Amino acid sequence: MKYTIQAQKLGIIGFTKSLAKELGPSNIKVNAIAPGCIDTDMNCELTKEDLEELKKEISLGRIGNPKEIADTAYMLTQNEYITGQTIKVDGGWIDY
């Protein structure tokens, strides 16, 4: 399962770069945001113990919040020269 997820992530990164190259001449920017563990309903089934263990793998020692993802998306709209990038917003999560 882990290798399937890694392959999917690499596929999205490659697709982002390819689209950026293809659409750049039309002044269309293409970027991706790769969030780490974010405090959403998606994690509601994790126990407190699971969350504490997960936090130990994150350099900043906490779960992210949706506003941090939104702030990143907004930042990308404000920059005219960033394209073809995958921006990790994961608090330094060591996920290998």
Mean pLDDT throughout 51-58? 95
Within a domain: 95: no
How would residue 59 be classed by pLDDT, with cut points 50, 70 and 90? very high
Within a domain: 94: no
Residue 13 has pLDDT above 90, yes or no: yes
> At residue 39, what are phi and psi to the nearest 5 degrees?
-70, 90
The burial class, CB within 10 Å (0-12 / 13-18 / 19+), for 44 is: exposed
Q: What is the C-alpha separation between 52 and 57, in angstroms, rounded? A: 9
Mean pLDDT throughout 25-36? 97
For residue 42, give its domain range: 2-89
What CATH number is associated with residue 48? 3.40.50.720
H helical segments located in 24-88:
48-56, 66-78
**Which among 10, 38, 36, 16 has a CA at the least distance from the CA of 82?**
16
Mean pLDDT throughout 12-32? 98
Domain count within the chain:
1
